[in-house]
Amino acid sequence: MSFNFETDTIININGHRIEFPWFLITEASCGIDFGYLRTKRLKGNLNGNFKVLARSKMDIIRNISRLKKAGVPYFFPCSNVSCFRLQSGDKHSLYPDNFTELKAYTIDIETTGLDKEFCEITAIGVLNHITDEIMIFTGSERTLLINFTTWLRTTEIDVLVGHNHIIFDVPFLMHRCGIHHLPLLWGAKLSIATPQRWESFFRNRYGRFAYNNIEINGIDLIDTMFCAMRYDTMFRTLPGYGLKPLEKHFGIAGDERLILTGKQIVEYGKSKDPKKRAALQTYLRYDLVGTKGLYGLLAPVEFYQTKIAPLSFQEMHIFGIGKKWNYTMLQDYVLAGHSIPVQNYTKRKEKYLGADVACYFHGRVENVHKIDVSSLYPSIMLKYDIKPTHDPLNVFQTKLRYVFDERQIRKKQAMVDPTQSPVEKSLKIFINGGYGYLGDANSMFKNEKGAEQVCTHGRKILGAIVDVIEEDDGKAIEMDTDGVIYTGKANTYKTVNEVLPEGIWVDYEGTWKVMLSYKMKNYILWNPNEKATVKGVFFKNSKMWKLKKEFVADMIDAMLHQKAVRPILSNYYAKISLGNVEVDDIKQKYNVKCTQFEYETALAENPNKREQLPEKYFIENSIDFKAGDVVSLYQARNTTRKCEGASEAGDFVKGEFNTKYYLKSLFKFVEQIYTNAPGMLPPDFVVQIDGYHYWRFRFCNVKSKELRQAVKDEKIFI
């Protein structure tokens, strides 16, 4: 696949040269004179009934600015690939059938700093995904760039993989090549990288993440950091989005993996010592292998969605499910020459009663079973013909039925053929996004009342399941959206399937020896000799500091095995009160969720609004910030201080931190369990002294010196 930059012509598709026009769709009543551009009236009664076609993308962009000034809604394809695919349908295949057939290369660079104007590149690494060959370009910056660019323009490339390379590596390479007056042409197609002029936002589970996208005609940039953020929005299990924590989380890197700090990377890059240069190259090789491993785990799900939505692979791994559904719907309308619904962005969203969520028991319970309704919301939409308000071609139901049936086929195949698992997962994500697409106020084809009907049917189905469980001498413990955890007979699911509507059924998920039920959506399932399944932010929260995560893990282990918890409390109490912690143990990572202007405007409009970290920290220290910025903070004695890590935290003094803040945080965790679900705690936990629990009495009523002495004398929690 390749595009001619001057004529916006797609070439080399199965050996054919294929031209296509750029277009936008708007209202016929917009009152804009499009001059020499071709226009076409679309059939149908939807408001987007006027199509404007142009040879050049710039002709379209110039007219878009006029539409924006007039406040007229419009639709415009986001890229060359989407523009072509919307108009060509499935006549041409831009991608191979299998993920492994892509000509993919991982790239990574090492530099002497973050400032691309003054810092230099010291090494460039490339890993061929097909042959596993690794190339390291070294030498003076000009020499290594000449060698790298020579290799680049003589190599057939479909995908360039990297970790944070859209934000850092690729812009850095482009800038340094410009300084040395070296042409940077990507791949044998000699494509030019085009940075996006405007700021885009990627929504991860912490908020909005600001970035500027980069397009290279004919090559997809796949950033494994974006893949990880997309994964984390669904599963909420990742410790962070850095390469090293992700390698550890997914088991990609072994204990032999070389780790270098930022200062060491700079030092080794500048050094002429052969051993240090060799260590840097070894580190680079580990980064390449780790990035390739992440790509192989996380990217296939996004790739196989290119078989459904008319978008590029790069767009698939960046865009949300709503935009993917928009383009899937639009393709049929564009091919049919039919009008489409267009609207300006709105923050309005209809409020309605959502899914049924309930916790019927708090504490420890043994021998529980779990059943889930298979694709509950897609099944309801198909069963009751729930679709967008304005969809005269009935595209939504047709696409949903096709993907639903295909997913059932792939699901069965995946049981015997693991290579089908990524395909099945991509189809599952896509059909489950159909409900959210209907209910989103900014979807082009929406039906907010239809989304409410889906939830209503879902609540009735879950209620019927709970009734059957109780009639079969069972007891529901937790109900959440599409599943129920209960005690009783394991084969109750067979009885449930007999009473559910046709086309809707439950799958038996398994049995667990112990369940710790804290509150709604926060529970632990465990079987002996197996890793516990932990759900909910109470037990695993990305904002937890490292020492608290260890404390929570120890408490969970004690509660599951009914072990004494007082030694755990005593141990952590002693460690914090005596200051035996490093900055890595207590720092917390925060993501900025809005721009500085948005934050200051919100405070001005509502003076009583509670100030939030890290925005409050940035403002107090006169630091500019934007959405997506990340900062690590710890609580000092009288203030909150920035912390970039143990090796770089020059302002951290061991022992000089707010011990009371961190002790309260630990003990509050235990107190909340005792208050809401005391049955989770082992029987030995409660010890009363003068009406107070012993640990609480010691913490709240004894002065610091006495506490320290008590710890030394081993009198705490004994």
pLDDT digits (tens, 9 = 90+) for 95-144: 898 999 999 999 999 999 989 999 999 999 999 999 999 999 999 999 99
Task: State how far the Cα of 122 lies from the Cα of 610, in Å rounded to an integer.
Answer: 46
Does residue 334 carry a pLDDT above 90? yes
Three-state SS at 505: coil
User: Which residues are bridge partners to 137 per DSSP?
Assistant: 124
Does residue 349 carry a pLDDT above 80? no
Parallel, antiparallel or unpaired: strands 9-13 and 16-19 = antiparallel
| Closest to 431 in 3D by CA, of 403, 456, 450, 389 | 403
Mean pLDDT of all residues in 438-451? 90
- Hey, what are 555's tokens? 């408490």
Range in 83-92, 359-368, 617-626 the model is least confident about: 617-626
Predicted local distance difference test score (pLDDT) of residue 717: 40
Give the residue with greater pLDDT, 417 vs 702: 417
Name the band, by pLDDT with cuts 50, 70 and 90, for residue 715: very low
Name the band, by pLDDT with cuts 50, 70 and 90, for residue 357: confident
| 388 in Cβ contact with 450 (< 8 Å) | yes
User: What's the whole-number average pLDDT of the chain?
Assistant: 85
Cα angle value 136/137/143 (rounded, 5°): 170
Q: Cα–Cα distances in Å, from 588 out to 520, 579, 583, 613, 616?
A: 26, 17, 10, 10, 15
Q: Residue 683, Cβ neighbours under 10 Å: how many?
A: 8
Parallel, antiparallel or unpaired: strands 104-111 and 121-128 = antiparallel
Three-state SS at 190: coil
Range in 114-123, 140-149, 584-593, 598-607 the model is least confident about: 598-607
Name the band, by pLDDT with cuts 50, 70 and 90, for residue 347: low
Among the four given CATH numbers 3.40.50.300, 3.40.50.150, 3.90.1600.10, 3.40.640.10, the one describing domain 357-535 = 3.90.1600.10
| 645 in Cβ contact with 259 (< 8 Å) | no
Do the two domains 99-307 and 357-535 of this chain adopt the same fold?
no
Q: Residue 504, Cβ neighbours under 10 Å: how many?
A: 18
Task: Give the start-to-end residue ranges of the domains of the chain.
Answer: 2-89, 99-307, 357-535, 546-712
Name the band, by pLDDT with cuts 50, 70 and 90, for residue 714: very low
Among the four given CATH numbers 3.10.580.10, 3.30.390.30, 3.30.420.10, 3.10.20.30, the one describing domain 99-307 = 3.30.420.10
Torsion of CA 306, 308, 311, 317, to 10 degrees: -50
Does the domain made of 546-712 have the CATH classification 1.10.132.60?
A: yes
Task: State how far the Cα of 444 lies from the Cα of 388, in Å rounded to an integer.
Answer: 9
Does residue 688 carry a pLDDT above 50? no
What is the pTM (predicted TM-score) of this model? Answer: 0.84
Give the residue with greater pLDDT, 675 vs 229: 229
Burial 351-365 (b: 16+ CB within 10 A, else e): eeeebbeebebbbbb
Q: Which residues contact 84 (CB under 8 A, 6 or more apart)?
A: 10, 18, 20, 94
Predicted local distance difference test score (pLDDT) of residue 634: 85
H-state helical runs in 156-242: 170-179, 224-235
Q: Residue 235, Cβ neighbours under 10 Å: how many?
A: 8
Task: State how far the Cα of 429 lies from the Cα of 434, in Å rounded to an integer.
Answer: 9
Cα atoms found within 13 Å of the Cα of residue 424, Cβ hemisphere only: 15
Query: How many Å separate Cα 644 from the centre of its chain?
Result: 23
Name the band, by pLDDT with cuts 50, 70 and 90, for residue 597: confident
Does residue 359 carry a pLDDT above 80? yes
Give the residue with greater pLDDT, 117 vs 13: 117
Q: What are phi and psi of 506, to 5 degrees?
A: -110, 150
Q: Is the peptide bond before 614 cis (omega within 30 degrees of 0)?
A: yes
pLDDT per position as a tens digit, 529-556: 999 999 988 998 877 889 999 999 999 9
**Helical packing angle, 659-676 and 546-561, nearest 10°:** 30
Does residue 703 carry a pLDDT above 70? no
Predicted local distance difference test score (pLDDT) of residue 303: 95
| Closest to 303 in 3D by CA, of 91, 101, 79, 2 | 101
Task: State how far the Cα of 708 lies from the Cα of 692, in Å rounded to an integer.
Answer: 20
| 505 in Cβ contact with 375 (< 8 Å) | no
Mean pLDDT of all residues in 259-268? 90
3-state secondary structure 62-105: HHHHHHHHHCCCEECCCCHHHHHHHHHCCCCCCCCCCHHHCCEE
Q: Which residues contact 201 (CB under 8 A, 6 or more apart)?
A: 208, 209, 210, 211, 627, 628
Q: Which residues contact 152 (CB under 8 A, 6 or more apart)?
A: 184, 185, 186, 187
Predicted local distance difference test score (pLDDT) of residue 460: 93
Q: Cα–Cα distances in Å, from 640 out to 112, 415, 593, 651?
A: 30, 51, 19, 11
| Closest to 478 in 3D by CA, of 639, 360, 354 | 360
Does residue 699 carry a pLDDT above 80? no
Predicted local distance difference test score (pLDDT) of residue 709: 54
| Closest to 613 in 3D by CA, of 604, 625, 601, 605 | 625
Cα angle value 7/92/127 (rounded, 5°): 80
- In DSSP notation, 247-300 reads HHHHT-S-TT-----HHHHHHHHH---HHHHHHHHHHHHHHHHHHHHHHHHHHH
pLDDT above 90 as % of the chain: 53
Helix, strand, coil distribution of the chain in percent, nearest 5: 45, 20, 35
Predicted local distance difference test score (pLDDT) of residue 690: 34
Predicted local distance difference test score (pLDDT) of residue 556: 95
Region class of 626: left (phi > 0), else alpha (psi between -120 and 50), else beta: beta
Mean pLDDT of all residues in 10-23? 65
Task: State how far the Cα of 102 lies from the Cα of 221, in Å rounded to an integer.
Answer: 13
What's the burial of 210, exposed, middle or buried (CB within 10 Å: 0-12/13-18/19+)?
Answer: middle
| 442 in Cβ contact with 320 (< 8 Å) | no
